[in-house]
Amino acid sequence: MTWLQRNKIPAGTALVVLVAAYAFYFANPNIAVSMFSNAWFLAVPLVLGAMVGVIGERSGVVNIGIEGQMLVGAFAGFFAAAATQSVFIGVIAGALSGIAMGAFLAFTTVKGQLDQIIAGVVINIVATGITSFYYESGKTIPRGLPNFDVPLLSKIPLIGPVFFSDGPIALFALVIVIVLHFLLFKTRWGLRTRAVGEYPSAADTAGINVIALRLFNVTMAGTLAGIAGAYLSMEATSTFERGMSSGRGFLALAILIFGAWRPLRALAAALFFGFMSASASQLQASNVVNIPQQFINLLPYVLTLVVLAAAAGRVRAPGAVGQPFVKGD
C-alpha cells in the first residue's frame, strides 16, 4: 500500500490513460493502433535523448548537446553502414560516435570546467558543421533494421502491435528506460550518481570520486544519443538528411524536465508528445474538422504548455546541476 500511497497521481494517471487508450482501441482498432504506433515511432529518439539527459543531469552535468550528439550518431552510423554494407556495423559506429561526443562533453566540462552550456552549444555547432560538410548524397545502406515480433508479447491487443512489433532500437529504448530506472534508484551506482548530482562535496567527503563518476556517466550516456541517431538514419528511415535530428535533442530536454528527471516519467512524457503529434497529423489528414491546419498543428504545443505549466511546479532539478566540481572549493 505504501507504494500506491506515495504514487497516487502517476499511478492514477497511468490507469486513466490505459483505460482511455483501450476504449479508443475497441471503438476503432485500426485507427487506434496506427496512431499509437506513430506516437511510439516518434517518441523513440525522444526517449533515448531524454535518458542521455537523465544520466547527465542526475550526475550534475547539463547536456544541451544531445541534438548534436544525435545528429553525429545518425551521420556516423549511416555512412559506416553505407561503407561496410552492414547495418550492424552502422549501429556500432553510431554508438561509438556518441561515446566520442559524450567524452568531449565530459572532459571539457568535468575535467576542464568549461561552462556546460557553452560545451553543449559547441557540440551542436560542430555536429551541424561536420555532418553538412562531409555529407555525400547518393549513398545507400543495404536495408534498414528490420521490424520483428516479440514472441507472446506482440500478441497483446494494442500494446503488442504498438510496442512489440518494431525494430531492435525501439525495443532497446523500452528496455533501457526500465533498466535505467532500476539502476538509478536501486543500485549503488545510482545512489552515488544521484549524490554526485545533488551534493557533490558531501559525496566527496563520503569518499566518492566525483570527477571520475561524472566523466564515466557523461561519456557513457553519449552511447544512447548515438543509438538515438542510428534509430533516425537506420531504423525510422534508411537515409541521412542534413539536420535530420530536427530539434529532437532539444525536445528531449523538455521531456526530461516534464518527466521530472525520472526515466519512467520521461517515457510517459515522450509518449505524450508523440501522441499529440500523431493526433495533429491525424486531424489534418482526415479532414473531419474544417479548421486551418496551422491551428491544428499548434495544438500539441499548446497542450504541452498547459501540461508543463501544471506539472512544472512539482519538479525540481538535481541540486548541483550545471556546477563544475572543484575539490576543496
Partner 1 sequence: MKAKPFLVAAPAALALVLAGCGGSTGDNSSDGSSAAPKDCSSTEVFCIGLVTDTGSVDDKNFNQAAWEGVKALEGDGVQTKYIETKDAKDYANNLKQFTDQKYDAIVTVGFLMAEATVTAAKSNPNIKFIGVDQFQDDKATAPNVTGLIFPEANAGYAAGYMAGLMTKTNKLGIVLGAEIPPTQAYAKGYEQGSKASNPKSSVAKVYHPAGDNAFSDSPWGAGEAKKMLAQGADFIFGAGGGTGNGALGEAAKTSGAGSSIFCIGVDVDQWDTVPEAHPCLVTSAEKKLTKGTTDLLTQAKDGSIKGGNFVGDTGLAPFHDFDSKIPADVKTKVADIVKQLEDGTLKVA
| Closer of 41 and 261 to partner 1 (Cβ) | 41
In eight-state DSSP terms, residue 150 is: P
| Closer of 105 and 184 to partner 1 (Cβ) | 105
DSSP string, 211-228: HHHHHHHHHHHHHHHHHH
User: In this structure, what are the phi and psi dihedrals at residue 328, rounded to the nearest 5 degrees?
Assistant: 80, 10
In eight-state DSSP terms, residue 260 is: T
As measured in angstroms, the least distance from the Cβ of 34 to partner 1 is 4
As measured in angstroms, the least distance from the Cβ of 113 to partner 1 is 6
154 binds partner 1 (CB under 8 A): no
Residue 5 has which C-alpha cell? 500511497
| Closer of 231 and 261 to partner 1 (Cβ) | 231
Q: Both ends of the chain: CA-CA distance in Å?
A: 44
CA atoms within 13 A on the CB side of 259: 31
d(CA 219, CA 227): 14
As measured in angstroms, the least distance from the Cβ of 232 to partner 1 is 5
242 binds partner 1 (CB under 8 A): yes
| Closer of 155 and 242 to partner 1 (Cβ) | 242
d(CA 107, CA 104): 5
Binding site for partner 1 (CB under 8 A): 30-31, 33-35, 37-38, 41-42, 45, 104, 108, 112-115, 118-119, 122, 125-126, 129-130, 132-133, 137-138, 140-141, 143-144, 232, 236-239, 241-244, 246-247, 277-278, 280-282, 284-287, 293-294, 297, 300, 324, 326, 329
